[in-house]
Structure 1
Amino acid sequence: MQKRNRKLLSELSGFSLRDNMEHALVIAVTQSGTTTDTNRAVALAKERGARVIAIVNRRQSDITHVADGVFYTSDGRDIEMSVASTKAFYSQIVAGYILALYVAKLFGTMSDSAIAHELTDLECAPKKMNLVIAGKEKIRESAWDIVKKKKYWAVVGSGSNKVAADEIRIKLSELCYKTISSDIIEDKKHIDLSSEPLIIVCAAGYPEPVLEDIVKDVAIFKAHAGSIVVIADDGESRFDDYADSVLHVPQATFPISVIMNTLTGHIWGYYAACGINDDGEFFKGIRTQLSMKVHDLDTKKQSLFDKINDRELRTLAENFTKAFNERKDKGFFSSLSTELAADIPILLKYSEGKLPLEDFWKEFESKRLSSSPLDMLDLSLGRAIDELSRPIDAIRHQAKTVTVGTSRKSEVLTGIIFDFLKGLMFSLENLTAREGTAVRRLQRSVSHIRGHTLYKIEHLEMDGTPGEQTTISITEKGGIARAMKSRVEMPGMLSGTKRTIIRTGEIYAGLGKRDKAPIIIMPLLGRNHSVRHVLLLHVVFRDDLTASEKKDILGDKFKKINNLVNEYDFTWNDEYLEGLPIEILLGEGVDVIVGEMMKFMGVES
């Protein structure tokens, strides 16, 4: 704009400055007075002869030492560093307008009465701002749920309210960690309406002709299934048919109207962050409960298989699944990454034991940091909390918490068989969940391991079951097995007990069919999570097991034995177990075991 041979520019860059700026006045606006870009541009202008006035809050800051005049905004302690300072923005608008009125008086472009009227309006700003703050509950209601449902946001305003829209966008991005677009209402070219975005419309303070057009634009936004929040003057009702919420503010003229829009947007942004953070608190509460329960099980030396079968832990996971789905059905978690939104429900199913562990190892092979779905669930919940937690107190939390590294976690299993597997370079991931539980029980019955034979299985069917072409060969022998001859000293077709074990996926423990030697045979998974090896262990079973220990080792099989005994109208007595060695109890069928018990009691079965 040019008037009386004076040119006014709203921006200044340190690039392409004229060599002679003796007739230039630079007004630098800064909260801290230490911003490098601002101070460098001012210094370059100063070197070329320009005069400088600084509108600044922080006293004795760098810019105050180079400015010819300083207009202190005095808007409180300058502790909002490296962020968009809300209080500074409001005071800078007022300070800039007061300075403009003073310049107008100097040049005689406004009468004293007109300037006095403008100053009177400025003096009403605190009262009107307090009225906006008093309506914060309605602003909270507007923001709380809608922000959880919409992934894409935009802020729009026209004329002077484009400044308000830009400032709201900055604060929303800062508080909510969102990439948010800002545009002129009637332009809309930077808004992807096909994404059905959340759009905040700064509509307070407009004259009637402009307002009519804005109502039409809001109707267009709504027609594209957008969620609309409108900031409008008190008494304005034309947006009611199109907006999800209308936030009314006291009527005001420029520049206070800009503050009315901006202040409302800033408060809305605070509650928006609170709403998103509420999703984070949801995950935080669940994670705490699960972590406490898992920690309790860890102190009891429970294995992964014990944890997944723990009733209380399963109940926690099931309750979390229900609550998660209820919130998701309402459209919440829009700020959660697609990956986590998909992973968490699946990990819950694995943690509840509803899906087999071997599927978890395969499905999450490329990204898991642990062999335990419980650990992966904990890590995923932690990431969800990081994604959804917001710096509600922007003074104390000016930077997002970042996870700088995560170590790979592994499930540690101990015991005579688990330790032996580890020595053969096998791990938890080479066992199915059912095998892991069985091994944990079985190893209590083993006194020591005398030898082993490791077999390699090849040419299984596509579904992992043995077929006509499936072969078996010996990979290695150890201990007493080195002196033993096997039917498969040379590679041959898979048959017999080992074929049954691969087909059923179950471990055999008991006596060998031919030599009646105590053995344990277990299938071991390969990289593609189908059986690739079979391990035969030559063991010595303990002969000092109590009836209680035998019951624990037998697991569900004990219930079947007990039920069959009861069918013979005998009351169960643990002494029935004491007369049979553990290898018989493990290796024989329930009918055979109960028959032996009947003989022990002198009864024909």
Structure 2
Amino acid sequence: DSSVDIISLKDILKKSQDHCYTKCRQNDLNLEDYYLGGEKQIDALFQKVRNLKCNDLFYNLFIKQESQVEIVKFSHRLSEFVDSESKLLTDHMGHLESDDVEILSRRIDKIKDIAWCLTSEIADNIEKVKYLILHEHETFNIYVVNIFKQINAVLNSIDRLEVRGRDSAGISMMFVLDSFEFDRFEETIKRENLYDRLKERSDHDILINLGISVNESEDENGHKLIVIAITYKAVAEVGSLGDNVHFLREQIKNDKILHKLVSFCPKCHTISAHTRWASVGAISEPNCHPVDNTTTGSGVPKSGIIHACLNGDIDNYMELKKKYEKHGCFIPQDVTTDTKIIPLQIEKYINQGFEVQEAFRLAVNDFKGSHAISVHTTLAPGKIFLAQKGSGQAIFIGIAKDHYMPSSEVYGLIEETPFFIKMDGEKEVEGKDGMTQGQIFVLDQCSAGGIDGIKATYYDNTPIVLGKNDIKYTEITSRDIDRQDFPHYFLKEISESPHSVEKTLQNRWRIKKDKIGQYVITLDNKTFPKTLQKALLNKKIRRIFFVGQGTAGVAAHTCADILNYYMDDPSFYISAIKASELSGFKLNDDDDKKMMEDSLVIAISQSGTTTDTNRTVDMVKERGAYTMAIVNRRDSDITFKVDGVMYTSSGRDIEMSVASTKAFYSQIVAGALLGLK
């Protein structure tokens, strides 16, 4: 059903309001079963709201102004309701049972996520899509709206990802037309005096802003297809967050050729984008990703259009470049990024007769160094080729109902879907011919979607069988990483520090009923397991180490000092040490397996994925130590390694700034709570 059912949304909200905290208490209702209508009802509301992002429902909203108004009103009602519930929770803090606080807090957060989704991820994006297409299209067919909806989604993603690097940003789109539709497209742009501009933009040796490439291809049945690639690039060595994407939006909005093209309803399309922090090559349009397979000279025949983006490094770039140029084709002097060799190596294997997927696999095997690569090409319309090998880079494949959304960080895809598969190119596995490393995923738009539309192999072509267990779910939403109205994430996160500390304290203390005004620390069994409590009471633990890396390492020293002060017991050895120093210099391969059975190691990590910290936890556990973690991110790697976990803030309080602020303060408060316990 493509209709937007506002009435059913209002009905669910009414049921939630009828089971607010006050009414549950007045009617002596169990909070677990009844608060806000119960967990299942809130999840049903969230799913209904998320479904509004699907193509059909989004289009239905897009063309009905009255529905948009209703959605915004509904969101405001939700926000007002949840604000009142949040205040009640704060007012009753310290008097509620720990389990009740957890129920209230979790459901209030979900309602906040729902309100945010309606306002920021649906209503605001309708306005962004309108801005891109309004002045070029008198009527809105569903294809035109959906293509610009997806372009907008990619721009939003790049806008968030650029916190990792923002000296340049680029986006390329490939549209597939059958020959009849392409002829109609050509006639239209000739009639509207755009043909000369098309030719001008198609004449380039280097892929720069507004570049267009046109190439013939064919489908599986041998029918002729025309693929048109359009690229937009922004470059600014000095600038502010948001500048690059704002520039790209303006380029897309004002591109008459693009708007004419999408009105012919291409058979399929792919979009690839990248935001760059230059590690190889000057900061310039030619070096801005994506780069293509265009060269000078005539030594190598051209094989379609290939666009590539890279995170990481091709360490043997100069060696591969020399080999390539021996055949009479040359990389333009203005292109100095190592990314350029990616499409050229793929083209080399295509010219040798290999299919595109095999050519891609052979090419990435030629590259030394750690990398994450994204490629799309006119030779395989509707497909995205991904490769990841080594550490330091990542690729997450977001799995939405209508499309795939690969991203180098989870927060690049969460606006579209909470479901994803993470590529693991770091782990070595037994392959066809011995140990192999690196993974290749091919995403196919012309498929049923989900895991069925993903073909996965290791670098040696050993198949990877994907199952439902490979699909992960994240509770993080775009609400958690939104910059709001702050000019910088750093300033935003400093401002949020008091709230993060408050969240860290939440549900970790109570006022004793039998002693008026006496505060006690309450940590549940998941945080402070009974095994740890018994070990401390029975004096099996005599040494306590706080470990961490970077800012978390500094927090570890502070936590150790606080615990020393609280305990004031010389029979306990309490210390802090960098995780890498403990594992690298204090532990040896021939250590006794019981050498640390009198020790509690408390690891501090913001992300829960810090390699040195996680490796140290593994090593001390092998030697008999008890372990705990103070960590921000729920269900991160470290949480599955330790005996007890104390989450800072809400467990989804993401820091985007390089400098740690709110996480640092929360880590210290968490350490102090452990000390008081």
TM-score after normalising by structure 1: 0.24
Q: Please state which structure has a larger fraction of its residues in strand.
A: 2
* TM-score, L = length of structure 2: 0.22
Question: Does 1 or 2 have the higher relative contact order (CA < 8 Å, sep 6+)?
Answer: 2
